Chains A and B, each alone.
Chain A
C-alpha cells in the first residue's frame, strides 16, 4: 500500500431522465492504492456500480454523464480522454468483471475467441502467442485444463468457471486496476469462497489493485484491506477493515454492521435500518442520511458534514463524531 493508482476527486455523475436529473454520484473522493483490495459497500442504488462504471468511462450518454470531477490514473485524467484513448486503456491498464458471469460472456463466441481478442487487440501479437497467453492467464485462475476450455462455448461452463474466465480475461494484460462488480453475488457459497481466495491470490501474485463492489460485508471482512462506505451517492466513511468493523463511526456504517445476521444470536427479527434509500433526484438537504439517522440534530439538516480524520487511515463525514 504505497502509491495511489487511481485518485478520484469530486466526481459527479448524473443521469438525465424524464422525471428529472438523478444525481447518482455527488462529489466522491476516493484513492485506490496499488497492491490493495478496496471494498466499496452500500445499499442497492447508492452509486457503487456507477462509481465503478465512471472509472471505466462506461457511463452511456444519454442518459448518464460525468458532469464534473477528475479521475486520475497515475496522474492522468481519464474524464477528458477521448473514446479512442479510453479503449486503449480499458483492458490494458484497467479491467472490469461483472456481477453475472452467466450473461457477461458472448454466447456465440468460444472462450478462446474472446480471450485472444483482448490480447491481440492490445498487443497485436500472433494468434498463437495470444493463445499461449490466454492459457497462461487461465492457469493463473486455477482453471483445470485451460487449453480445452478455450475451445468451449460459455454455455458449456459452470457459473464458477465462467467467472474464472472473466477474471482470466481481465488479468490477461496485467492491468494495474481490476474492478470487480459484485463478482460473487450470482455464485453459490462454495464457489464464492474459491473466487474470493483467487482474487486475494491475484493481488499477491500480480500486484494488481482491486476495487471490489459488494453489499456483502462478510466478503469485505474476509478480503479487503480498506473499505469505503457509500450512501446515496456520497462516500460517508473510509477506513481499514479494522477501523470499519471495530470502530464504525458513521451511523450508517453502524447500521450496516448491526444488520449482519448472526448465527450465535437467536433474535426474533433481523435488524435493519429504518426508512428507505432517498430519492436522488431531490436528495435530503445537509447530511443525506439525516432522515434515517438515530443521532441527528438540527445541524445535520442544514449543513453538509465535511470529512474529518479520526486516525491516520480512518475518515468519516458526520457532524456527530
Chain B
C-alpha cells in the first residue's frame, strides 16, 4: 500500500527531474542557436567515439605498430586504403584513427597536471593574499617566461625523448595559466557574503576554500581546460614533429606529419590526413570552449 509520505517523495523527485530537464533543455537551446558550438561539440564527440572504437574502426590495427609491408608502400588513397599507405606500406587511415587515442591521452594528462598544480596554487594565492600570493604569482611568472619548446628540448635531453616527458614539458609552463585564472576568480568570490557566512558557521579555511570558493570559480576554469585540451594536442604534435615527442613507430599525428614531410609534395597523403586530424580536433575544442563559456556565463544568458 502506498503511504502519503511516499507520494510526497515521488512528487519531490518528479519536480527535481523536471527541473534538471528544464536546465538541460535550456543548454540545448543555447547550443542550437550557436551552430559553431554545435559543430565543435560534434567534432569532439566524433573524436572521442573514434578513440573509443579505434580498434574496430581501423581496418589494419596492426599497422599502428612495427608492421612492415614494403611491397604495399606509398599507395595513394584507394578504396582499400582510404588515406593511402606510408613508406612502410602501413595503412595511414588506421594510424590516424589509432592516433586519436594518443591525442586524448596527451590532452587529458596535460590538462590534469597543469590544472592540479595551478588551481590549488591560484586559490591559495587569491585567498591568502600578501606575501604568499606574491611568492606564488612571481613563481608563476617565472614559469610562464620559459619558452615551452626550450623546456621540452631540455626535458627531452635530460630525461630522454618520449611522450611522457613531452607531456611533462608541456604541463610545466602551463600551470600558471590556471593559477592566474583561479586567483582572479578567488579574489572576486572571497568577498562575497556567502563566504563570510560560511565562516560564521565555523567552517575552516581549507573547507571554505575548496568547498565554497572553488565551486564558484569552476566555470572559467572548465572553459580554459577545454581550450587547453586542444592546445595540448597541437603542442604535442609540434613536439612530435621536431622529434622530441613520441618515438616512431607510434601513430602520433605530429610524428606522422614529420615523417611524411620528406616525401612532400607528391606523396601528399602522408602529411595531409594526420595534419587535418590535428587541425580539426584543435578547432573542435576551441569552438566548444567558446560555446561553453557562453553557456556557463550567466551574464550572457538571455
Contacts and interface: CB of A to CB of B under 8 A. Distances in A.
Contacts of B215: 106, 108-109
Nearest to A86: B202
A170 B197 CA distance: 10
Contacts of B130: 62
A98 interface: yes
Given A106-B216, A107-B216, A147-B12, A122 B194 contact: no
Contact of A103 (B8, B192, B202, B204): B192
What size tier do the contact residues of chain B reach? 20 to 34
A321 to B, nearest CB: 37
B194 A121 contact: no
A56 B198 CA distance: 12
A245 B204 CA distance: 42
B62 interface: no
Interface in B177-227: 192-194, 196-205, 207, 211-212, 215-216
A109 B203 CA distance: 15
B200 A56 contact: yes
A104 B202 contact: no
Which one of A97, A99, A117 has the highest number of Cβ atoms from chain B below 10 Å of its Cβ?
A117
A90 interface: yes
Interface in B1-29: 8, 12, 15-16
Contacts of B205: 83
A166 B198 CA distance: 11
B127 to A, nearest CB: 11
Residue among B12, B198, B207, B216 with the highest chain A CB neighbour number at 10 A: B198
DSSP majority for the A interface? Answer: mixed
Contacts of A170: 201
Contact of B12 (A62, A107, A151, A166): A151
A100 B203 contact: no
A122 B200 CA distance: 13
- Chain B binding site: helix, strand, loop or mixed by DSSP? helix
B166 to A, nearest CB: 36
A87 B216 contact: no
A118 B216 CA distance: 19
Contact of B212 (A88, A106, A122): A106
A104 B201 contact: no
Given A106-B216, A107-B216, A108-B216, A89 B202 contact: yes
A58 interface: yes
Name, among A97, A103, A106, A147, the residue most crowded by chain B CB atoms within 10 Å (CB to CB): A106
Q: Most A CB atoms within 10 A — which of B8, B192, B201, B212?
A: B201
10 contacts: A58-B196, A58-B199, A87-B203, A90-B201, A90-B202, A97-B197, A104-B196, A104-B197, A108-B216, A117-B203
Interface of A: 56, 58, 62, 83-84, 86-92, 95-100, 103-109, 117-118, 121-122, 147-148, 151, 166, 169-170
Interface of B: 8, 12, 15-16, 130, 192-194, 196-205, 207, 211-212, 215-216
Closest 6 CB pairs of A and B: A91-B202, A91-B201, A90-B202, A104-B193, A106-B194, A103-B193
